Amino acid sequence: MQNRLLKISTCLAMFFAAHFFSSSNLSADLFTIVEKSGQTVTIEAALYGSGKSRGEMLHALLKPDGSIQLVPQGKIKKRELKAAPKPLTVKQMSEGLIKKFGKEKFRFHLQSPYLVGVVLAAPLDGTDRTELRVKTFLQKAGRFMKNVEVIFETYSKKMGIELTEYEFPMAMLIFESDDDFEAYAKETTSLGAGVKNILAYYSGVSNNLILRMSECSSFETPLHEAIHLQTSNRGVVKRFAPIPTWFMEGIATGFEGKGDRINVSPDRINSHYALLSGIAKLLNWGEVVALNGVFRGSILSGDAYVHAWGLHWMLVTKYPNRYVEYVKKLSSKEPFEESSPKQQYEEFVEIMKVSPESLQLKFKLELIKAISKQKVKLPGLDDKTVHLEKHKQEMAIVKMTATSYSRGAPPRIEGWLQNISPFRPMTFHVTVQTDAGTYAEWYLPKVAIRKKIKLKGKNADQLMRGGRGGKWQSYHVEVKSVYPDSEAAREWATGKLPVPALTRQVQVAPSN
């Protein structure tokens, strides 16, 4: 997340003549800077690195909590040399987070070097039983982080990849409310409205792992992001260094499995990605290696992750020694160092002694041989027809079935919802919305913790705002949740339920 930068001023350029540093050799200084608000503040930080963005100079200041503040050259007014401070402890980090989120809405668990915190949607009910549930949930999340560490260290030792010790405490922040998660993501990333599509992320700026609580029922998505945290904090790569995206995503997908039950690593076949490799759209592996953009903003970006897994698996299993040399080269790259797509491609070929295109030609045959030899059982493809949708949203798992009894008639909808909150009952409003602008809705005033509720059959015949009715071709499910004693829940109880508006959505497509 790079900011627009101001041009270099001659007097300050002397301070930053050496652009790249190893964080272990940094000394912390006092920087007087002008923040975006216009306020002048003095912070204690180390110069982590400097480099140009869009022709302007950016300085990265590394703080004692491990976060990085990106400051345009012209916004640094003064620098005073000072002895390096010790990084914060997890206890000190927790004190800062309590101040940030408030004592009533923040709970945490310390398991050095990890801090696992939950940002509550609302204060708890004050009972010991609820506090115990929160504590148990946080302890489970702490065990997940430790499991990720163990499996990452086991893989690295097996491959011969040298790891360093943690320099800073590692924080995982879990947001109970999707609205709070999205607000925080907008504040701390450059994703804007795109945060609605993000389930979890690792921030190289804050050095924190940020999750929606709905993703903590299985930890499937957080596992991928937790590998990014490990990779960026154990000496494998440096933050803001020009690391190829295919490598970062390839190693992370290699660990994906059954969430907190981590039973796979990049040197083994990941049955999920092995299956997807047979149906993913074809991408040239040379472009996957050279162009980071294939992983961003494209309809093929999801397929790029599948190809990154395949490429990474080929290197780990067929060229392990060269792979380790390649990782060493990536480890040596410094923050803000420049690397063009051409350099990225040539560096790969120079070290691996093989082109990515030739690896792609061999991949399918090697994968089939490995599946047969290891007797790997691939999962079946989900039967994803128009008449079925299952997903997680707003602290719920929902499964819906739609049936049309006559062509063009409103579909008959039924299914079930489960409250996946680990420590409080929730109020839910569920809508199934068609592209014809009609919908069906269910209001569930109080669903107990982990409780599964059957949603009785209804016709999707209510009109949405902007809807006209008529023939439908697709539909999607929306879930809104609030806690039972909230103002919104009281309003819903009077019959004032939200009426959805017709918008363009990626929906479940109909089948013939």
- Would you give the DSSP letter of residue 353? S
**Which token pair is 239?**
């933050």
SS3 of residue 402 by DSSP = strand
Kindly report the pTM of this predicted structure.
Answer: 0.85
- Per-residue pLDDT reduced to its tens digit, 383-441: 333 344 556 778 899 998 877 766 567 778 889 999 999 999 999 999 999 888 999 99
pLDDT score at 64 = 94
Short-list 403, 274, 37, CA closest to 266? 274
Tell me the average pLDDT across 75-80: 94
Beta bridge partners of 172: 116, 209
Residues sharing a CB contact under 8 Å with residue 69, sequence separation 6 or more, in sequence order: 33, 43, 45, 60, 61, 63, 205
With 90 as the cut, is the pLDDT of residue 88 above it? yes
- The Cα–Cα gap between 125 and 171 comes to 26
**Selection from 206, 198, 232 nearest residue 97 by Cα:** 206
pLDDT tens for each residue of 473-498: 788 899 999 989 899 999 999 999 99
Sheet holding 68-72, edge to edge: 68-72, 56-62, 40-53, 28-34, 76-80
Q: What is the mean pLDDT of the chain?
A: 87
Dihedral sign, Cα of residue 349, residue 351, residue 356, residue 361? positive
Statement: residue 463 has pLDDT above 80: yes
State the pLDDT confidence band at 25, using cuts at 50, 70 and 90. Answer: low
Please compute the mean of the pLDDT values over residues 82-99 and round it to a whole number: 92
For residue 279, what pLDDT band results from cuts at 50, 70 and 90? confident
* pLDDT of the residue at 287: 96
Coil/strand/helix, residue 15:
helix
User: Considering only CA atoms, which of 503, 61, 507, 76 is closest in space to residue 240?
Assistant: 61
What pLDDT does residue 145 have? 95
Residue 8 has pLDDT above 50, yes or no: no
Q: For residue 283, what pLDDT band results from cuts at 50, 70 and 90?
A: very high
At 446, the pLDDT band (50, 70, 90 cuts) reads: very high
| Residue whose C-alpha is closest to residue 48's, from 30, 26, 65, 67 | 26
pLDDT score of 227 more than 70: yes
Question: Average pLDDT for residues 104-121, to the nearest whole number?
Answer: 96
H or E element that contains 183: helix 178-188
Contact 163, 153 (CB under 8 A): yes
Q: What torsion, rounded to 10 degrees, do the Cα atoms 345, 350, 353, 358 define? A: 20
Quick: pLDDT tens for 193-225. 888 889 999 999 999 999 999 899 888 889 999
Q: What SS3 class is residue 72?
A: strand
Q: Are 454 and 496 in contact (CB under 8 A)?
A: no
Peptide bond into 341 cis (omega under 30): no
- For 382, counting Cβ atoms within 10 Å of its Cβ (0-12 exposed, 13-18 middle, 19+ buried), the class is exposed
The residue type found at 500 is P
Q: How far apart are CA 274 and CA 310, in angstroms?
A: 8
Per-residue confidence at 345, pLDDT binned at 50, 70, 90?
very high
- Judge whether residue 310 has pLDDT over 70: yes
In this predicted model, what pLDDT tens digit does every residue of 168-190 receive, in sequence order? 999 999 999 888 999 999 988 88
| Residue with token string 């997903």 | 391
Among the listed residues 311, 271, 275, the one whose alpha carbon sits nearest the alpha carbon of residue 290: 311
pLDDT of residue 391: 62
Q: Are 173 and 180 in contact (CB under 8 A)?
A: no
Sheet holding 452-459, edge to edge: 388-393, 396-403, 412-419, 452-459
CB 65 within 8 A of CB 96: yes
What is the spatial distance between Cα 304 and Cα 286, in angstroms, rounded to a whole number? 12
Predicted confidence (pLDDT) at residue 323 exceeds the cutoff of 70: yes
